[in-house]
A and B are shown apart, each in its own frame.
Chain A
Amino acid sequence: GENVEQHPSTLSVQEGDSAVIKCTYSDSASNYFPWYKQELGKRPQLIIDIRSNVGEKKDQRIAVTLNKTAKHFSLHITETQPEDSAVYFCAASNLNSGTYKYIFGTGTRLKVLA
């Protein structure tokens, strides 16, 4: 079935350094890839997304890259700050399927050390 793998499961970086989280999806029909940030006990919040017709998207310190051939997509956070500490989930979806189901990765717990 559809599957999204996410690595690493935990990531610690020094404040100011960059963080990279990688996901791999199995369904080649997937064409939409959102990233969510979830702080402890709170709802997941969409931070950035990318569609399959684009290879890269950037929003200030956050960027996402997509390699459709390899079925990989990655989240890049530059100049990390303590408030970036949270769990990050990637997801893949096929917007043409009509179901709008998201398949989530297993999550990455990011710790930014001050």
Chain B
Amino acid sequence: GAVVSQHPSRVICKSGTSVKIECRSLDFQATTMFWYRQFPKKSLMLMATSNEGSKATYEQGVEKDKFLINHASLTLSTLTVTSAHPEDSSFYICSARDAVGNSPLHFGNGTRLTVT
């Protein structure tokens, strides 16, 4: 089945630094990837839609300058949390769908970000 790999799984960083999270589709091409944020015991909040070769589409209330998204190829999207602060600590999950047909979303393993 379709596999989405997300790296790193855990990261601890100091306040003010930037963190990059990678999301790869391993056995399919994904023209569209999605980035979600999940708070403890809460639902998946869509942050942005990452489109290969074009700018990402951000959901209302999500700062595009804070959460930089780059979808440089059909198999890779990156999310960079810039100038991270403790309130950015969360579980970030990417998802992707095969560009062929109406296939479902497949999720990465998620990245737990802790900003100290």
Q: Which residues of A come within 8 Å of B, CB atoms?
A: 32, 34, 36, 41-46, 49, 87, 89, 95, 99-107, 109
**Residues A44 and B97 in contact, CB atoms below 8 Å apart:** no
List of A residues within 8 angstroms of B4 by Cβ: 43
Please give, as numbers and ranges, the residues of chain B lying within 8 Å of A106 by CB-CB distance: 42-43
- The answer to whether B44 and A49 have CB atoms under 8 Å apart is no
Q: What chain B residues lie within 8 Å of A101 (beta carbons)?
A: 34, 46, 49
Q: How far is the CB of A6 from chain B (nearest CB, A)?
A: 8
Are B106 and A46 within 8 A (Cβ)?
yes
On chain B, the residues within 8 Å of A45 by CB distance are 107
Output the nearest chain B residue to A95 by Cβ-Cβ distance: B102
Q: Are A43 and B108 in contact (CB under 8 A)?
A: yes
Q: Is B105 close to A, CB under 8 A?
A: yes
Query: Are B93 and A49 closer than 8 Å at their CB atoms?
Result: no
Q: Please give 15 more A-B residue pairs, beta carbons under 8 A apart, in addition to A99-B49, A101-B34, A107-B43.
A: A34-B104, A41-B112, A42-B109, A42-B110, A43-B109, A44-B44, A44-B93, A44-B107, A45-B107, A89-B44, A101-B46, A102-B34, A102-B105, A104-B43, A106-B43
